[in-house]
Chain A
Amino acid sequence: EDQVTQSPEALRLQEGESSSLNCSYTVSGLRGLFWYRQDPGKGPEFLFTLYSAGEEKEKERLKATLTKKESFLHITAPKPEDSATYLCAAATTDSWGKLQFGAGTQVVVTP
């Protein structure tokens, strides 16, 4: 059975304290790994798509990487506005458009 697991569940950071979020996956035929940011009560905001192991994508203080078993979202020198829940999701050969979401990591950045 396809599974996407995110860790940690929650992360509290001081402003400027860099950290990484983990998304491990056991799926048959990964076709895409996606990262989203979600603020409370709002829809997920698309961040990155990764298609193959070794691929990296970067946007402002965020950098996403992909290996054959997991993906990392690195947050460099976070600011309070980076506080959100970060979701990863996998699309697989058999998923037919369905994204397999992880449970998310709730990040709080304090000044």
Chain B
Amino acid sequence: DTEVTQTPKHLVMGMTNKKSLKCEQHMGHRAMYWYKQKAKKPPELMFVYSYEKLSINESVPSRFSPECPNSSLLNLHLHALQPEDSALYLCASSHLGVPTYNEQFFGPGTRLTVL
């Protein structure tokens, strides 16, 4: 089973709202990732969580805040977003913790629209 689940599937929020995206995997994978994907572009890495350590793409603004309650769950907290943050947000996991050179398995994504 190589399933990564994400909720919600769609989210519309205003610039003053606070919301969270959720990601879950039950494959015992040791690393989890958040990606942002704009239309017609490849996914862009935002965060990596592995072995209880968080790595951040330094270009990601602080209005995005990841949280890992346990090894199977990864949340992305959103606050004071801008319209340009509208995108498909993807969660992924890989069997081995980073550094890793094995494949990542992606969830179905959350389509986020910021008004």
Q: How large is the interface on A (under 10, 10 to 19, 20 to 34, 35 or more residues)?
A: 20 to 34
Surface stretch bound by B, among A60-68, A75-83, A92-100: A92-100
Nearest CB of B to A94, in Å:
9
Task: Assess the B99–A96 pair: CB atoms within 8 A.
Answer: yes
Task: Assess the A97–B103 pair: CB atoms within 8 A.
Answer: no
Task: Assess the B104–A43 pair: CB atoms within 8 A.
Answer: no
Q: Which residues of B contact A95 (CB under 8 A)?
A: 99
What separation, in Å, do the CA atoms of A45 and B4 have in the docked complex?
11
Q: A42-B108, A42-B109 are in contact. Are A102 and B33 (CB under 8 A)?
A: no
**Does B90 sit at the interface, judged by CB under 8 A?**
yes
Majority secondary structure of chain A interface residues (helix, strand, loop or mixed)? loop
Interface size on B, residues (CB 8 A): 29
Q: Which residues of A contact B43 (CB under 8 A)?
A: 44, 99, 101
Task: Assess the A43–B50 pair: CB atoms within 8 A.
Answer: no
Contact of A87 among B6, B42, B98 (CB under 8 A): B42
**Does B70 sit at the interface, judged by CB under 8 A?**
no
A: residues with CB less than 8 A from B are 31-32, 34, 36, 41-46, 49, 51, 87, 89, 91, 95-99, 101-104
B: residues with CB less than 8 A from A are 2, 4, 6, 31, 33, 41-43, 45, 48, 50, 55, 88, 90, 92, 94, 98-109, 111
